[in-house]
Amino acid sequence: MEILVAGSHGFIGTALLARLRDAGHDVRVLVRRPASGPAEVSWDPARGRLDPAALAGVDAVVDLAGTNPGTRPLTAARKRDVVASRVDTAGLLARTIAGLDGPRPALLQASGIGAYGDRGETELDEREPLGTTFFAEVVRQWEEATAPAREAGARVVLLRTGVVLGRGGGALRPLWPVLRAGLGGRLGSGRQFWPWITLHDEVRAIEHLLTADVAGPVNLVTRADRNADVVAALAGALGRPAVVPVPAFALRLALRDFASEVLGSVRAVPAVLDASGFVPEHADLETAARWTAGSA
The residues spanned by each domain of the chain are 2-168+196-221+267-281
**What pLDDT was estimated at residue 164?**
95
Separation of alpha carbons 77 and 79, rounded Å: 5
The pLDDT confidence band at residue 295, using thresholds 50, 70 and 90, is low
Instruction: Pick the closest to residue 138 from 66, 209, 72, 205 (CA basis).
Output: 66
Longest alpha-carbon distance in the chain: 59
Please give the mean pLDDT across all residues of the chain.
93
Separation of alpha carbons 198 and 166, rounded Å: 6
Separation of alpha carbons 273 and 208, rounded Å: 9
Separation of alpha carbons 18 and 13, rounded Å: 9
291 C-beta neighbours (distance < 10 Å), count:
20
Could you tell me what percent of the chain has a pLDDT over 90? 79
160 C-beta neighbours (distance < 10 Å), count:
27
pLDDT tens sequence across 88-129: 999 999 999 999 998 999 999 999 999 999 999 999 999 999
Contact 220, 202 (CB under 8 A): yes
Contact 246, 187 (CB under 8 A): yes
The pLDDT confidence band at residue 290, using thresholds 50, 70 and 90, is very high
Q: For residue 71, is pLDDT > 80?
A: no
The pLDDT confidence band at residue 256, using thresholds 50, 70 and 90, is confident
Q: For residue 294, is pLDDT > 90?
A: no
**What pLDDT was estimated at residue 261?**
81
pLDDT tens sequence across 156-193: 999 999 999 998 777 778 888 888 889 889 999 999 99
- CATH number for domain 2-168+196-221+267-281, candidates 3.10.180.10, 3.40.50.720, 3.40.50.970, 3.40.50.450: 3.40.50.720
The pLDDT confidence band at residue 41, using thresholds 50, 70 and 90, is very high
Separation of alpha carbons 169 and 164, rounded Å: 9
Over residues 44-64, mean pLDDT: 96
The pLDDT confidence band at residue 80, using thresholds 50, 70 and 90, is very high
* pTM (2 d.p.): 0.94
